[in-house]
């Protein structure tokens, strides 16, 4: 029975990339590449790599785990199991290598698959956000700063903002690949001494066969700043997911009621309150973002290993790598589903625009007064006073303005225009269209 929710509730396509069986296969892929490089350099028989590759197809995870129980070394258990299945070529498995030549290089292969899926997931989310941005580029709504009504904006602006942020994550991922998709075949302290003369050529060839870059300098391990970078990137992605999910949660409060998560006909919101329509998917995303961020701290602490390495990174990486990738993938997938089914309530959006009785147009009135010859600072103070008076008396800003001398500076037509929120969104439509190109 599964203990971790990663094996059930939050399982995604990413999970298969980090399963033990997948890791075992990646380890053997590196061993096969090492054997091929040895053979090309004339160090082992030419037919040995093929025999080792054929042998790898017969290796079972159960056998590897059985050997590990006896020898207490997971990588060496794989080496023995692979040697068992490779006939006389088994004598040439793992020549010159240390465990982390295999493990860290295989981790880069795993990261490559994970990043590929991550980019596809981000691209799907970006496409959804772009569609929403263009569809709602004219959907005027109230903007909020400090939790208070500010000036009008549009829902298109909200989604365009998220769209460009997701695109930056795609760019970051592509840039980071140069630093993350790196392997090594450099031995116990990084000197390549175990490979003898021609070790540099061998390392380069192994990485060419695997489609990775070779670390220019390494110790017994690939340096953990590389691994910390990818977890930081995943945390950035999780932060964006939380940012969007939190906005959905807040805007779905009954007091606002502008948007809502999709809610199925048979969906239950509460075990005791039948009326509840909780934004639980968005809340779940916000909860999981905390987990991804927390793993960054562990990854950063893995950077200062002692001397040429110690083992303090090993155990926790078995958790933080799969957990961070799988949870982030789940968040991206869940958020995309929420956005695709997002509901809008236009009547509530309009209601909230009118909620403060025109106070949201105070900036516009102030600027209009400057065009009538009133100094900017004077205009600001006058409209500030009018706004406070309107609020205190429960009247509209327009009504309060018209009752005083400043109101006489405007015609009725001008006042109608000044207090129309739909005409005070500046370049919002243009901004959205340019961002969505």
Active-site entry in 4, 8, 116, 270: 270
> Is the distance from CB of 296 to CB of 224 less than 8 angstroms?
no
- Give the mean model confidence (pLDDT) for residues 30-44: 97
d(CA 56, CA 50): 10
Residue 266 pLDDT level (bands cut at 50, 70, 90): confident
Active-site entry in 146, 271, 275, 307: 146
214: which strand partners? Answer: 183
Instruction: Give Cα separations from 131 to 1, 137, 251, 282, 402 (angstroms).
Output: 41, 10, 20, 20, 42
Topology given in CATH for the domain delimited by 16-96: Fumarase C; Chain B, domain 1 (1.10.275)
Has 83 been annotated as catalytic? no
**Residue 247 pLDDT:** 98
**Residue 117 pLDDT:** 97
pLDDT higher than threshold 80 for residue 271 = no
- Give the mean model confidence (pLDDT) for residues 269-277: 80
Distance of CA 290 to the CA centre of its chain: 12
Residue 313 pLDDT level (bands cut at 50, 70, 90): very high
d(CA 383, CA 387): 6
- Give residue-wise pLDDT tens across range 139-192: 999 999 999 999 999 999 999 999 999 999 999 999 999 999 999 999 999 999
Q: Under CATH, which number does the domain 108-180+221-261+276-355+428-437 receive?
A: 1.20.200.10
DSSP-derived pairing of the beta strands 259-260 and 343-344:
antiparallel
**Number of residues in the chain:** 437
d(CA 262, CA 248): 11
User: How many of the other CB atoms lie within 10 Å of CB of 9?
Assistant: 10
**Residue 153 pLDDT:** 98
pLDDT higher than threshold 90 for residue 346 = yes
Sequence ranges of the domains in the chain:
16-96, 108-180+221-261+276-355+428-437, 359-418
pLDDT higher than threshold 90 for residue 411 = yes
d(CA 23, CA 29): 10
- Give the mean model confidence (pLDDT) for residues 309-334: 96
pLDDT higher than threshold 80 for residue 269 = no
Topology given in CATH for the domain delimited by 359-418: Ribonucleotide Reductase Protein R1; domain 1 (1.10.40)
pLDDT higher than threshold 80 for residue 407 = yes
- Give the mean model confidence (pLDDT) for residues 129-134: 98
- Give the mean model confidence (pLDDT) for residues 237-254: 97
Q: Average pLDDT over the chain, rounded to whole?
A: 96
Residue 273 pLDDT level (bands cut at 50, 70, 90): confident
**Residue 1 pLDDT:** 64
d(CA 125, CA 110): 23
Phi-psi label, residue 309: left if phi above 0, alpha if psi -120 to 50, beta otherwise = left
pLDDT higher than threshold 80 for residue 270 = no
**Residue 291 pLDDT:** 97
Query: Which tokens hold the place of 137?
Result: 């580029």
> Is the distance from CB of 364 to CB of 56 less than 8 angstroms?
no
Residue matched to tokens 């991922």: 173
Query: Which tokens hold the place of 139?
Result: 């959907």
Percent of the chain with pLDDT over 90: 94
pLDDT higher than threshold 80 for residue 97 = yes
Has 227 been annotated as catalytic? no
**Residue 263 pLDDT:** 81
Residue 268 pLDDT level (bands cut at 50, 70, 90): confident
What is the 3-class SS of the chain, one letter each residue? CCCCHHHCCCCCHHHHHHCHHHHHHHHHHHHHHHHHHHHHCCCCCCCHHHHHHHHHCCCCHHHHHHHHHHHCCHHHHHHHHHHHHCHHHHHHCCCCCCHHHHHHHHHHHHHHHHHHHHHHHHHHHHHHHHHHHHHCCCCEEEEEECCEEEEEEEHHHHHHHHHHHHHHHHHHHHHHHHHHCEECCCCCCCCCHHHCCCHHHHHHHHHHHHCCEECCCCCCCCCCHHHHHHHHHHHHHHHHHHHHHHHHHHHCCCCCCCEECCCCCCCCCCCCCCCCCCCHHHHHHHHHHHHHHHHHHHHHHCCCCCCCCCCCCHHHHHHHHHHHHHHHHHHHHHHHHHHHCCEECHHHHHHHHHCCCCHHHHHHHHHHHHHCCCCHHHHHHHHHHHHHHHHHHCCCHHHHHHCCHHHHHCCHHHHHHHCCHHHCCCCHHHHHHHHCC
Instruction: Give Cα separations from 246 to 46, 251, 294, 354 (angstroms).
Output: 59, 9, 19, 24
Query: Which tokens hold the place of 342?
Result: 């997002």
d(CA 426, CA 112): 43
User: Nearest 5°: phi and psi at 214?
Assistant: -95, 135
Instruction: Give Cα separations from 264 to 75, 205, 276, 278, 284 (angstroms).
Output: 48, 55, 12, 12, 17
pLDDT higher than threshold 70 for residue 245 = yes
d(CA 339, CA 169): 18
């Amino acid at each position: 029975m599964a203990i971790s929710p990663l094996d059930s509730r939050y399982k995604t396509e990413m999970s298969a990339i980090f399963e033990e069986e997948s890791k075992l296969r990646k380890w053997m892929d590196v061993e096969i590449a090492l054997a091929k490089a040895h053979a090309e350099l004339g160090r082992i028989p030419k037919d040995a790599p093929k025999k080792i590759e054929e042998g790898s197809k017969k290796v079972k995870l159960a056998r590897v785990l059985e050997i590990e129980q006896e020898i207490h070394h997971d990588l060496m258990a794989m080496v023995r199991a692979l040697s068992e299945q490779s006939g006389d070529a088994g004598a040439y498995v793992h020549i010159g290598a240390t465990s982390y030549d295999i493990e860290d290089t295989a981790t880069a292969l795993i990261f490559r698959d994970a990043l590929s899926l991550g980019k596809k997931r981000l691209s799907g989310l970006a496409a959804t956000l772009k569609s929403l941005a263009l569809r709602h580029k004219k959907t005027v709504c109230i903007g909020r700063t400090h939790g208070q009504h500010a000036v009008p904006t549009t829902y298109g602006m909200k989604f365009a903002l998220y769209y460009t942020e997701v695109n930056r994550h795609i760019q970051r991922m592509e840039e980071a690949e140069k630093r993350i998709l790196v392997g090594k075949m450099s031995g116990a302290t990084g000197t390549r001494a175990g490979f003898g003369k021609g070790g540099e050529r061998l390392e380069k060839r192994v990485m060419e066969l695997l489609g990775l870059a070779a670390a220019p300098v390494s110790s017994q391990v690939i340096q953990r700043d590389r691994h910390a970078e990818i977890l930081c990137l995943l945390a950035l992605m999780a932060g964006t997911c939380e940012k969007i999910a939190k906005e959905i949660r807040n805007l779905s409060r009954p007091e606002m009621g502008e948007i809502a998560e999709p809610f199925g006909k048979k969906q239950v919101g509460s075990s005791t309150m039948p009326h509840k329509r909780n934004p639980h998917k968005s809340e779940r995303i916000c909860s999981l973002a905390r987990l991804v961020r927390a793993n960054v701290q562990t990854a950063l602490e893995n950077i200062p290993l002692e001397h040429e390495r110690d083992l303090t990174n090993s155990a926790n990486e078995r958790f933080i790598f799969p957990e961070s990738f799988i949870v982030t993938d789940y968040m991206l997938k869940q958020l995309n589903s929420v956005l695709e089914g997002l509901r809008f309530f236009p009547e509530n959006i309009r209601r909230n625009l009118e909620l403060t009785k025109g106070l949201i147009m105070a900036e516009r009135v102030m600027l209009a007064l400057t065009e009538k010859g009133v100094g900017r600072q004077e205009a600001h103070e006058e409209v500030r006073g009018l706004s406070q008076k309107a609020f205190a008396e429960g009247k509209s800003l327009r009504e309060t303005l018209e009752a005083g001398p400043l109101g006489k500076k405007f015609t009725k037509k001008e006042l109608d225009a000044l207090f129309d929120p739909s005409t005070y969104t500046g370049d919002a439509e243009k901004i959205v269209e340019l961002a969505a190109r």
